[in-house]
């Protein structure tokens, strides 16, 4: 072996080592930093692409799993994924925020690593814990936008950041004008669903915005329900007596999740069925 080959090999070895180190999550600049992501980035866009690649035939009922607050419950996370993978006819899983406990990119990636083992795509909305420290930036790096919407299975989903306390109640979160715009346009869907982390009846929701927010939902066409997390306990009801049903998710630690089935009846009115699964 010539000296130059050896040198070349060493150089390649060195470069490979550097590449390995720069993509290495162990080399964490700070718990508040999100360097070293590897492929754990833009997960919302990636999951939306997976969803779009597997469309539901028109007229089919849509079944999806609803859960929330995965924060720090890794052991439950694995069991939940194993259980959801046994469910037939599921199209996606949605997580109502609080992916992380401390707003750290590393936690978000640990959760994503586990959710990536789902057979179906999963989509998340940001929770208050995901905004601690530089969490809002980490969430956008690992997952994606804080407010977004998409249509799947003739259902429009609007996901919105309602963690008002994390912005110290600045009067702009949730972004009600954006919500109004989203829920007033079904984009060809036959029904719609809204999901956010903090429910509008909670102390962490900006009270100045509660009337405008709930009115936007109550006046929106074909609204099936709003999904929330934050409270770590399941509930279903119409707290504002305005015809809008609010469903709060079980947290991962509660050993339970919900399967929601949505369709339109003979009068083209949205209907849903709810099933609780214990894992």
Please pick, from the candidates 42, 116, 132, 272, the single residue that binds other proteins as defined by CB under 8 A: 132
Measured from the CB atom, is 158 or 163 closer to other proteins? 163
Q: Write the CA distances from 219 to 67, 180, 232, 264, integer angstroms.
A: 26, 9, 28, 18
Measured from the CB atom, is 73 or 246 closer to other proteins? 73
Interface with other proteins, residue 39, by CB under 8 A? no
Give min distance, CB of 177 to other proteins, in A. Answer: 23
Interface with other proteins, residue 42, by CB under 8 A? no
Print the binding letters for residues 185-214 with other proteins: x by CB under 8 A, - otherwise.
Answer: ------------------------------
Measured from the CB atom, is 10 or 50 closer to other proteins? 10
Other beta carbons within 10 Å of 203: 8
Which long-range contacts does 253-257 make (Cβ < 8 Å, 24+ apart)?
253/69, 253/73, 253/76, 255/76, 255/79, 255/279, 257/65, 257/66, 257/67, 257/80, 257/83, 257/84
Q: How far apart are CA 232 and CA 235, in angstroms?
A: 10
Interface with other proteins, residue 254, by CB under 8 A? no
Give min distance, CB of 195 to other proteins, in A. Answer: 22
Strand partners, 124: 95
Strand partners, 251: 68
| Nearby residues of 177 by Cβ (< 8 Å), 6 or more positions away | none
- Kindly state the helix (H) or strand (E) to which residue 207 belongs, with its residue range: none
Question: Per CB under 8 A, which region of 1-9, 75-83, 119-127, 227-235 contacts other proteins?
Answer: 75-83
Interface with other proteins, residue 107, by CB under 8 A? yes
Give min distance, CB of 202 to other proteins, in A. Answer: 13
Measured from the CB atom, is 118 or 224 closer to other proteins? 118
Asked whether the beta carbons of 247 and 235 are under 8 A apart, the reply is yes
Which residues 44-73 are close enough to bind other proteins by CB under 8 A? 72-73
Q: Which residues bind other proteins (CB under 8 A)?
A: 21, 24, 26-35, 72-78, 101-104, 106-107, 110, 131-138, 140-141, 165-166, 168, 253
């Amino acid at each position: 072996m010539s000296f130059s080959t050896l040198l070349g090999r060493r150089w390649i070895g060195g470069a490979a080592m550097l590449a390995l180190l720069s993509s290495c999550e162990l080399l964490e600049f700070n718990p508040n930093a999100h360097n070293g992501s590897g492929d754990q980035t833009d997960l919302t866009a990636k999951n939306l692409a997976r969803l779009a690649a597997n469309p539901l035939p028109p007229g089919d009922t849509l079944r999806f799993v609803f859960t929330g607050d995965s924060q720090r419950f890794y052991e439950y996370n694995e069991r939940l994924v194993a259980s959801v993978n046994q469910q037939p006819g599921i199209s996606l899983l949605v997580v109502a925020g609080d992916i992380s406990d401390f707003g750290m990119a590393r936690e978000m990636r640990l959760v994503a690593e586990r959710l990536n083992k789902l057979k179906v795509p999963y989509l998340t909305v940001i929770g208050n814990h995901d905004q601690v420290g530089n969490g809002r930036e980490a969430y956008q790096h690992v997952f994606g936008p804080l407010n977004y919407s998409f249509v799947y299975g003739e259902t429009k989903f609007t996901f919105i950041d309602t963690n008002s306390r994390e912005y110290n109640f600045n009067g702009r979160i949730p972004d009600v004008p954006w919500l109004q715009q989203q829920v007033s346009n079904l984009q060809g869907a036959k029904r719609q669903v809204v999901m956010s982390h903090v429910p509008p009846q909670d102390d962490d929701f900006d009270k100045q915005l509660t009337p405008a927010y709930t009115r936007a939902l109550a006046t929106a066409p074909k609204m099936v329900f709003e999904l929330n997390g934050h409270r770590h306990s399941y509930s279903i009801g119409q707290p504002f007596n305005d015809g809008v049903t609010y469903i709060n998710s079980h947290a991962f630690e509660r050993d339970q999740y919900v399967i929601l089935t949505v369709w339109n009846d003979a009068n083209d009115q949205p209907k849903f069925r709810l099933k609780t699964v214990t894992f």
